[in-house]
Amino acid sequence: MFNYRVYWTFTKKSFLRSSVYRFDVWSRLGSNIIFLLMWGSIWTALYAGREEAGGVGFEAMLTYIVVSQFLTGVNGAGTPLWEIQEKVRTGDIALELMRPFDIPLRYLFADIGSVAFYIVTALLPLYTVLFIFMDLALPTDWLTWLYFVVASIIGFMIRYCIEMSFGLLTFFLVETGGIEDIFYFAMSLLSGSVIPLWFFPDWLATIALYLPFQGIYYIPNAIFIGEIAGAEILVSIGIQLFWVAVTYMTLRLIWNRASRKVVVQGG
């Protein structure tokens, strides 16, 4: 049933398509850098010259921010939420139902294409330079790098499943502004992308720990700076895998219901 060539085509096409919208890449990179500078100076001010806060050194914190901005770049390069809302709103989603492919997978592979383009052309060059010239706490052994890459990829999958699920809610709701707000709020706060979980008040940290969002930013990032280490790494990746499974099944469930509810306007 699964024919990877069909999906791979979407990856290639959306990779090429991203190159058409080069301005988009530059503007996104610009805002990525601005946010990096902003968070960098906020945290510098918060540390106020101290070597350490919340048990984490300044250098590690700065690294956390840089990595977090890198992951934001990765996870923000695809736009399935927006795309799917647009398709549902215009009714074009129906036309895709008449094609011999699975729609959630097709968007995943397209997403991979645009993210790959952005990573190769913008993120990697920029962050390589940052890693070389800034005083950051880089992992010293290659295994940590490997875990980081693996955890980031799983995080990407979790984010995709959640984002797509939110997007599909457009089928059931007339207005979706609220949905988007919830999504972006959870993505920025509960994921630990702007504030690491260890600075959260206990109750909020507990909530965040029981939600899938931490698997997107916090886990890969904490592995990178060594906050999660040793046997804990595998446990964390296990937690991520658990969340991929749960969010993927949720996505499938929502998709099954949504695809029966398709409304095609006009014609």
Partner 1 sequence: MVPIIEVEHLMKDFKIAKRETGFAGAIRSLVKREFITKEAVKDISFTIEEGEMVGYIGPNGAGKSTTIKMLTGILVPSGGSVRVNGIIPYENRQKNAKNIGVVFGQRTQLWWDLPTIESFELLKEIYQVSNERYEENMATFTDILGLDEFLDTPVRQLSLGQRMRADIAASLLHDPPILFLDEPTIGLDVVAKEKMRTFIKEINKERNITVILTTHDMEDIEKLCKRMVLIDHGQKVYDGEISVVKDRFGKIRTLVVDLEESDCILQLSGGKVFKEEGNRYWIHFNRDEVSASELIAQITSTHNIKDLTVEEPEIESIISRIYQEGFQDLPNPVKV
Decide if residue 101 touches partner 1 (CB under 8 A): yes
Pick from partner 1, ligand ATP, none: which does 199 bind, CB < 5 to 8 A by kind?
none
Place of tokens 């969340």: 243
Residue number with CB closer to partner 1 (79 or 259): 259
In angstroms, the CA 233 to CA 220 distance is 9
**Minimal CB distance to ligand ATP: which residue?**
263
Binding letters toward partner 1, positions 167-186, x by CB under 8 A? -------x------------
Q: For the chain, state the CA radius of gyration.
A: 19
In angstroms, the CA 55 to CA 118 distance is 34
In angstroms, the CA 12 to CA 105 distance is 14
Residues of span 17-36 touching partner 1 by CB under 8 A: 17, 20
The torsion defined by the Cα of 16, 22, 25 and 30, in degrees rounded to 10, comes to 170
In angstroms, the CA 222 to CA 216 distance is 11
Pick from ligand ATP, partner 1, none: which does 229 bind, CB < 5 to 8 A by kind?
none
Decide if residue 263 touches ligand ATP (CB under 6 A): yes
Structure tokens belonging to residue 42:
């906020």
Decide if residue 13 touches partner 1 (CB under 8 A): yes
In angstroms, the CA 18 to CA 23 distance is 10
Place of tokens 């990407």: 156
In angstroms, the CA 215 to CA 217 distance is 6
Q: How far is the CB of 153 from ligand ATP (least distance, A)?
A: 39
In angstroms, the CA 136 to CA 44 distance is 14
Pick from ligand ATP, partner 1, none: which does 102 bind, CB < 5 to 8 A by kind?
partner 1
Of 49, 100, 177, 201, the one binding partner 1 (CB under 8 A) is 100
Q: Which stretch binds ligand ATP (CB under 6 A): 128-136, 170-178, 218-226, 258-266?
A: 258-266
Residue number with CB closer to partner 1 (31 or 90): 90
Structure tokens belonging to residue 266:
């006009």
Q: Which residues bind partner 1 (CB under 8 A)?
A: 3, 5-6, 9, 13, 17, 20, 91-92, 94-95, 97-102, 174, 259-260, 262-264, 266-267
Q: Which residues bind ligand ATP (CB under 6 A)?
A: 263-265, 267
